């Protein structure tokens, strides 16, 4: 089933290192174009992120935002310098013995000495960070594609409705053609009755004029091509791959054919149906602009 080019999706995941949040929006565009805003920690994943999005989205303007925040306890490790602790402890014991002090040596006293406790920046777990980012991105893409598919079904239904209306008008035009020729014949007969004598070749001239008119207003080929284009359009709406560009081209061809039919038309009823079809085809062209 066809998909719309507009949609929105988001995802969020908390993990041992913090949390990642992603949002992605897409809009109509002739080609695929991605604008990504990533935090510094995720810059190294940019190409892989684009590659993953490109697998799911073939056409449209994409805007991606990813936010990453570390947990407070994930930014650094606490390290105890045991060698310094032993030296300070030995120093205190020596002081206690030398001055014959009875006070106990406590841990609280030892921890007041400088550089006993150190804070060491923790190395980023890039494998875990990428797995988490990938999961969040896939979740956002799933929501986005679901919305695009839903809108695609609505677009398909609207286009098919307009195709049916167009086909109904085509059948009317086919039915009106013989009547238009007969009407023209009657008008020509009246004109010839006024301008010519009964014995001046009136019948031959009438047949010639009617034949020329019938040839000039013959739109059977245009109508046949229009029906073929409409059938092709209906078939493309059932396909899941990228169809927007092809549908746009088909709609342009239908528009060109109905213009030719209008140019050849001398009958009010046919002209009325041509105007109606032009309106429906224009609406079809507007709708297929939204299809991927």
Q: Which residue has the tokens 């306890």?
A: 73
CATH of domain 149-288: 1.20.140
pLDDT, tens only, 6-29: 999 999 998 877 889 999 999 999
Q: Is 7-73+125-148 a CATH 3.40.50.620 domain?
A: no
More reliable by pLDDT, 38 or 76: 38
pLDDT at 148 over 60: yes
Instruction: Determine the Cα–Cα distance for residues 213 and 198; give it in Å rounded to an integer.
Output: 22
Residue 283: CB atoms within 10 Å: 16
When pLDDT is cut at 50, 70 and 90, the band that residue 273 belongs to is very high
Q: Which region among 55-69, 117-131, 191-205 has the lowest average model confidence (pLDDT)? A: 191-205
Quick one: tokens of 281? 């085809």
Q: What is the pLDDT of residue 146?
A: 95
Contact between residue 16 and residue 128 where contact means Cβ atoms under 8 Å apart: yes
Instruction: Determine the Cα–Cα distance for residues 162 and 277; give it in Å rounded to an integer.
Output: 9
pTM score: 0.70
Contact between residue 277 and residue 170 where contact means Cβ atoms under 8 Å apart: yes
What is the 8-class DSSP label of residue 122?
P
Q: What is the pLDDT of residue 291?
A: 92
Instruction: Determine the Cα–Cα distance for residues 46 and 50; give it in Å rounded to an integer.
Output: 6
Over residues 97-104, the mean pLDDT reads 82
pLDDT at 75 over 70: no
pLDDT at 226 over 90: yes
When pLDDT is cut at 50, 70 and 90, the band that residue 134 belongs to is very high
Q: Which residue has the tokens 């994930």?
A: 74
Over residues 96-107, the mean pLDDT reads 82
Instruction: Determine the Cα–Cα distance for residues 176 and 155; give it in Å rounded to an integer.
Output: 32
Residue 159: CB atoms within 10 Å: 25
Calculate the average pLDDT of the chain.
84
Instruction: Determine the Cα–Cα distance for residues 32 and 29; give it in Å rounded to an integer.
Output: 7
Quick one: tokens of 245? 């560009």
Annotated domain spans of the chain: 7-73+125-148, 76-121, 149-288
Instruction: Determine the Cα–Cα distance for residues 129 and 74; give it in Å rounded to an integer.
Output: 12
Contact between residue 266 and residue 179 where contact means Cβ atoms under 8 Å apart: no
pLDDT, tens only, 38-57: 998 899 899 999 999 999 99
Q: Which residue has the tokens 């935090």?
A: 39
What is the 8-class DSSP label of residue 241?
S
Q: What is the pLDDT of residue 30?
A: 87
pLDDT at 79 over 60: yes
pLDDT, tens only, 154-205: 999 999 999 999 999 999 988 887 776 666 555 655 555 555 555 454 556 5
């Amino acid at each position: 089933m066809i998909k719309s080019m507009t949609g929105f999706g988001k995802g969020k995941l908390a993990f041992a290192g913090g949390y990642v949040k992603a949002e992605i929006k897409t809009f109509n565009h002739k080609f695929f174009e991605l604008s990504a805003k990533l935090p510094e920690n995720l810059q190294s994943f940019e190409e892989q992120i684009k590659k993953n999005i490109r697998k799911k989205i073939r056409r449209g303007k994409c805007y991606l935002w990813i936010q990453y925040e570390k947990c407070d306890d994930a930014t650094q490790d606490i390290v105890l310098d045991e060698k310094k602790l032993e030296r300070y402890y030995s120093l205190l014991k020596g002081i206690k013995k030398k001055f014959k002090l009875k006070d106990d040596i406590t841990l609280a006293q030892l921890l007041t000495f400088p550089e006993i406790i150190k804070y060491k920046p923790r190395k980023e777990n890039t494998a875990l960070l990428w797995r988490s980012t990938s999961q969040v991105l896939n979740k956002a893409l799933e929501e986005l594609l679901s919305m695009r598919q839903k809108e695609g079904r609505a677009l398909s239904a609207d286009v098919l409705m307009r195709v049916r209306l167009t086909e109904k008008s085509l059948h009317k035009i086919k039915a009106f053609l013989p009547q238009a020729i007969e009407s023209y014949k009657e008008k020509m007969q009246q004109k010839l009755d006024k301008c010519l004598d009964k014995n001046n070749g009136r019948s031959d001239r009438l047949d010639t004029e009617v034949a020329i008119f019938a040839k000039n207003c013959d739109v059977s080929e245009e109508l046949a091509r229009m029906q073929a284009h409409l059938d092709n359009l209906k078939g493309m709406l059932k396909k899941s791959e990228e169809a927007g560009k092809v549908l746009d081209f088909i709609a342009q061809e239908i528009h060109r054919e109905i213009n030719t039919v209008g140019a050849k038309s001398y009958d009010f009823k046919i002209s009325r149906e041509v105007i109606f079809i032009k309106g429906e085809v224009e609406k079809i062209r507007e709708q297929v602009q939204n299809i991927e």
